[in-house]
Amino acid sequence: MTLEALHAVWTPSFLSFVSPVAAAALGALFGRAGRFGRGIAALIVLCGLTAGAYGAWQAPVSGLTAMSSVTGSLPPIGRLQIVIISVGGALISTYHVLTRRQGEVAVIAALVVAATSASAFAGDSLRVAGAGVHLAVLLVAMLMATERDDWQGGVAGTAYLTLASIGAITLVAGFALADVQKVSPGGLVTDAFVVAVLSTGFALSVGIVPLYFWVPSASQRPGAGASMLALAVVVPASLGLMLATLTALPQLSGPIAASHLLTVGGLLTAIGGALGTVAPGRLRRRIGYALMGNLGAVLLGFGTSTRIGVAGALVALAHHCLVAIVLIGAATEIETTPTSSAQALGDNEDERGRRLDVRPIVVAREQGWVARVALVLGAIAMSGVPPFGGFASRWAVMQALALSDWRLAFALGITSLVTTYSLLVSVPTRRFVVGPAHLSVAPERFLFVLSVVACLWGFLPGNILDVAHAATSQLTFLKPF
């Protein structure tokens, strides 16, 4: 291999792997230097995640029949996965800095992105890819246990660690069984048995009904950063691993299509998410169920085994990441009540006031009205009602479902409307608190901008679907229509 070829192969891999890890190390170093240091750390992490996404986009495209033939190559689906999770990690890190709360969310986000990027670069080495997802689960569970000071974060971290980690380990065991089945076909290890093991692992990792028990706890109890990473980064990485599995093991696509696992699982997940959103509970718990139901549309798109259905599912998955950040962040801002005016002040404003002997103006103000608007816009964008953002995501999936079974499309539409209505009626009423007028303005405005982007997503359906369809056109196990 020439020096130019070696440079073309290893530079993208270096950027995708090393830059997030180096950014996390430098971010941890500067993050201990107060608010100014946290700002520098966030900037470093953003640069590292941007370099990782650029490296993935510049990586050589591999042939799907032999993904490991060229070292450092990426399939088109893996490229999209790294770009989506890198953007999600950057948005989560930015929100964490704007909230001025304690925690190492930006550092853990960079490490999670690096781990999931390693799973995308693994190619047909599925056990390595499963280990990358498992490492991401461990990092998020650690953040859940440490981000909040009370005991609820530890409870959520334990539940998430137990169930999601078991799911990742089950996936690795299923990949080993698939290798055994390749070596000795026709033995005790059959395709149906391998499919059953892998289905259990994916159901635990993603949160599919009936193995979804970690989703309500992970969305309600821990801090916002850990919840966002779990539902907006690790879950999409697990779904990307599902496509990589079907690509590397095309013989499993037949039993999965014949058993309708993805179709039934997606429908049950959509219905379970709608029922959980209707049930009484805290706002973030309802949002967790709503996001779980939103993944039902993604699974139904995968279950069609068509290019247009899988392309729509990928677009819906990318939109899901954006909506998850908006909904979880908005609910956190609404439910967080300042205990004193001193806690509401930022570090710079507090120090400036002490030096000048000026006390901040404390007034009775309406809390979180910008966050409530962002929550409403995010819920409407997720519903799939035209012309909002979810329409671009759901249109291709609904079209594929209508061609296969119109009843599935009808059921998905009904569950989406029920979920949206339940979220809208669960938005809390106006509440006035005593504190400085500038409290939480920056994070709420940031979430509002993201919610507007999520709504405007639907006005560019052609460009978004073209990219996704180009990636799915090389998946040989899919039907053209």
Give the model confidence (pLDDT) of 236-266 as tens digits: 989 888 888 888 887 887 788 777 888 888 9
**Distance of alpha carbon 443 from alpha carbon 101, whole angstroms:** 11
CA neighbours within 13 Å on the CB side: how many for 443? 31
**Distance of alpha carbon 86 from alpha carbon 81, whole angstroms:** 8
Mean pLDDT computed over every residue of the chain: 78
Least confident interval from 13-27, 127-141, 210-224: 13-27
How would you classify the pairing of strands 432-436 and 362-366? antiparallel
CA-to-CA dists, residue 476 to 24, 40, 263, 472, angstroms: 38, 45, 20, 9
Report DSSP state, residue 222. S
Question: Tokens 């590397």 label which residue?
Answer: 248
φ, ψ of residue 75 in degrees (nearest 5):
-70, 160
The answer to whether 189 touches 177, Cβ cutoff 8 Å, is yes
Read off the tokens for 136. 């991401």
Query: For residue 460, what pLDDT is reported?
Result: 64
**Distance of alpha carbon 80 from alpha carbon 310, whole angstroms:** 13
Query: Largest Cα–Cα distance in the chain?
Result: 82
Measure the CA dihedral 203/209/215/220, to 10°.
180
- The structure's pTM equals 0.86
**Distance of alpha carbon 397 from alpha carbon 419, whole angstroms:** 18
Nearest partner of 213 among 321, 268, 288, 280, judged by Cα? 288
38 confidence band (pLDDT: 50, 70, 90): low
Task: Output 287 or 41, whichever has higher pLDDT.
Answer: 287
